[in-house]
Amino acid sequence: MSRPVPVPTELSEPFWDAARRGQLVVPYCPSCELRFFVPEPACPGCMAPNWHYVPSVGRGTVYSVTVVHRAPGPGFDGPFALAVVDLDDGGTLLSHVDAGDPHSVAIGMRVRVDFRPLTNAITLPYFVPER
């Protein structure tokens, strides 16, 4: 069975369009200068509705990590490392980190974004060790 495919929404469509082009973008609020993820109708910091997507350098540091041994559903291969990544330019993302051995992913590890097509329409951002 194949892996579930994310369904873009009006709020997330620019994120998926950018990923398909190999670019990481994150929501940014000009009112309070907060970068955040996941996209919401209003900024979670100040509730302003006028946020927009901005490019990210796609580099960061693993803040927290767990190794998932039990697949969350069909189409997922385990084990895999799931981490919260603090982006260098602000904000955090929850993402897979592919370092070969999932047990080698550690807090403080430097990572960079890597894009992998899931379907013709959806490309997923993963993180890999920065070398």
Per the structure, the complete domain to which residue 17 belongs is given by 13-118+124-128
pLDDT digits (tens, 9 = 90+) for 26-84: 999 999 999 999 999 999 999 999 999 999 999 999 999 999 998 888 888 889 999 99
Task: Assess if residue 92 is contained within a domain.
Answer: yes
Q: Is 91 a residue whose pLDDT tops 80? A: yes
The answer to whether residue 2 scores a pLDDT higher than 80 is: no
| Residue 91 Rama label (left phi>0; alpha psi -120 to 50; beta) | left
**pTM, entire model:** 0.90
Instruction: Tell me how far apart the alpha carbons of residues 96 and 98 are, in angstroms, rounded to a whole number.
Output: 6
**24 pLDDT more than 60:** yes
Q: Is position 105 within any domain?
A: yes
What does the pLDDT read at residue 82? 97
Determine, yes or no, domain membership for 77: yes
Provide the number of structural domains found in the chain. 1
- Asked if the structure places residue 69 within a domain, the reply is yes
Q: In this structure, is residue 1 part of a structural domain?
A: no
Please report whether residue 17 resides in a domain: yes
**Which pLDDT score, from 0 to 100, does residue 28 have?**
98
